Amino acid sequence: MEMVEKKKQPNYYFIWFLLLVLTVVEVGIAYLSGLPRSVLILVLVGLAIWKATLVAMYYMHLRFERLRVILLASAPLPLAVILVLAILLEYAR
């Protein structure tokens, strides 16, 4: 009889809780911080990227896929970076 290796499942409740905490931090920073606007935007974008990475890695199961699928899913990221930089540069004028 052949043994089938069971893949370890991520703790979805922990990931959900981490996303909740990051969202609360984002809201708290947006409403309560006295940071300059450009720093505030960079911090909020960084937190949003962190949350998007968690969602992609665990809920879209990219953490358990082959490199080829990960590269396919992350191919639009340079375009997103270009668009965010364009908006930030436009705002700086």
Convert the pLDDT of each residue in 32-90 to its tens digit: 878 888 889 889 989 998 998 888 888 877 677 777 777 777 788 888 889 988 988 88
Residue 93 has pLDDT above 80, yes or no: no
pLDDT for position 23:
96
Helix 37-54 to helix 77-92 angle (10° resolution) is: 170
| The token pair that represents 77 in the structure block | 């990221």
pLDDT digits (tens, 9 = 90+) for 16-31: 999 999 999 999 999 9
| The token pair that represents 50 in the structure block | 């962190």
Residue ranges covered by each domain of the chain: 12-92
Place of tokens 């949003």: 48
Residue 1 has pLDDT above 70, yes or no: no
CA 50 to chain centre: 3
d(CA 22, CA 49) in angstroms, rounded, equals 11
CA distances from 59 to 35, 78, 83 (A): 32, 22, 25
